[in-house]
Amino acid sequence: MSSASADPVAALAALRAEAEARIRSAVGREALQQLKTEYLGRKAGRVTAVLKTLPSLDPEARRVVGQAANDAKAAIERLLEEADAARVALEGGTAGRDLTMPARYAWRGAIHPVTLVIDEICAIFAELGFSRYVGPEAETERNNFTALNFPPEHPALDMHDTFYLGEGKLLRTHTSPLQIRVMETYQPPIRVTMPGMCYRRDAFDASHAPVFSQVEALAVDEGITFVDLKASLSYFARRFFGRETRVRFRPSFFPFTEPSADMEVECRICHGSGCPACKNTGWMEILGSGMVDPNVFVNVGIDPEKYTGWAFGMGPHRMALLRYGIPDIRMLYDADVRLHDQFVDAV
């Protein structure tokens, strides 16, 4: 007689331990099915075989062995069920699916190229001690023109092609009215960048838009000179466009600065040799600037005998075209995810 018959309870314990180990390491539905048949099968199952001997045992042995055999059967059944559930979770998740199908593209948000440019401009000036100031797009005629020393009937008023809102209000045509707001709120020394949207009754074309951004900057202190203006703006251009970038200043006119100068950078597309983007000049204008006109200081109550200052206004939409080689300003307004998607990695 085998030892299984000698001590059926010990034999069942060994059988159960063996079954548990084999179920745990079984892989796949078929392997589990085979183990179920081997241990619990109706005809030749090894636990079933023990149960079949019960009628031939005396009542006390029948009770003890019967208990052990039923426990073993229940334990193995439960383990088989758990193993099968784990198998279904593992394999069933992909059942009926085509695992070679390409993943569906997930759209991620991107920061608009103009916003990237604005933030970069402000960040460069922040390193030089400039804080950031914003103000309303609906402005007073006084802040937008009069306080900035535009004489009434001045041709520049026509140049700005203003959207008037009535009752002395308008959509600001530039960010320069923010200079007035800052100088009427804070005492010098002042160093501030002022980004914002501006509005002019222009038609859309490749380089113009009726709604566009500007970043204004203003520095007011004792002893500020035109040298500071040139140095700060040249430094900025090299930081923004690259170390080797050449810049030049050309005399200009604004009612609120005297003297005034436009800054041009070497064309980023042809690097000075001339191309359609720079109208074959090799240069591109990116900002207007100048020394704050003493009349403006008087209008805001700052003593022009004591203080001097410089200001500029630059166009981030245009700079985004240069920076990213975008051929048409209208692309920056189309909200086409195919453009924005190219800036995801810049975030």
Closest to ligand PHE by CB, 262 vs 266, is: 262
Sole binder of ligand PHE in the list 288, 293, 299, 319 (CB under 6 A):
288
140 binds ligand PHE per the rule CB under 6 A: no
Q: Considering only 20-28, 101-109, 272-280, 286-294, which stretch makes contact with ligand PHE by CB under 6 A?
A: 286-294
Q: Considering only 21-29, 49-57, 189-197, 309-317, which stretch makes contact with ligand PHE by CB under 6 A?
A: 309-317
Cα atoms found within 13 Å of the Cα of residue 216, Cβ hemisphere only:
22
Closest to ligand PHE by CB, 17 vs 159, is: 159
Q: What torsion do the CA atoms of 88, 93, 99, 101 make, to the nearest 10 degrees?
A: 160
Sole binder of ligand PHE in the list 290, 293, 297, 299 (CB under 6 A):
290
Q: Residue 60 to residues 30, 65, 68: CA-CA distances in angstroms?
A: 39, 9, 13
Question: Which residues have a Cβ under 8 Å from the Cβ of 262 and sit 6 or more positions away?
Answer: 249, 250, 252, 285, 287, 288, 289
Closest to ligand PHE by CB, 80 vs 219, is: 219
# binding residues, ligand PHE (CB under 6 A): 12
Closest to ligand PHE by CB, 23 vs 232, is: 232
Closest to ligand PHE by CB, 232 vs 289, is: 289
Sole binder of ligand PHE in the list 289, 291, 318, 329 (CB under 6 A):
289
What's the chain's Rg over C-alpha atoms?
A: 40
> Closest residue (Cβ) to ligand PHE?
313
CB of 98 vs ligand PHE, minimal distance in Å:
58
313 binds ligand PHE per the rule CB under 6 A: yes
Tokens of 200: 């002019």
CB of 334 vs ligand PHE, minimal distance in Å:
24
Closest to ligand PHE by CB, 216 vs 266, is: 216
CB of 341 vs ligand PHE, minimal distance in Å:
32
255 binds ligand PHE per the rule CB under 6 A: no
Of 284, 239, 240, which Cα lies nearest the Cα of 264? Answer: 284
Q: Considering only 52-60, 221-229, 283-291, 294-302, which stretch makes contact with ligand PHE by CB under 6 A?
A: 283-291
Sole binder of ligand PHE in the list 257, 266, 317, 340 (CB under 6 A):
257
Angle at which helix 8-25 crosses helix 59-87, to 10 degrees, equals 0
Q: Residue 125 to residues 119, 131, 326: CA-CA distances in angstroms?
A: 10, 8, 25
Sole binder of ligand PHE in the list 68, 255, 312, 318 (CB under 6 A):
312
Residues of this chain, 151-210, that bind ligand PHE according to CB under 6 A: 174, 176
Question: Which residues have a Cβ under 8 Å from the Cβ of 115 and sit 6 or more positions away?
Answer: none
Residues of this chain that interact with ligand PHE (CB under 6 A) are 174, 176, 216, 254, 257, 260, 288-290, 311-313
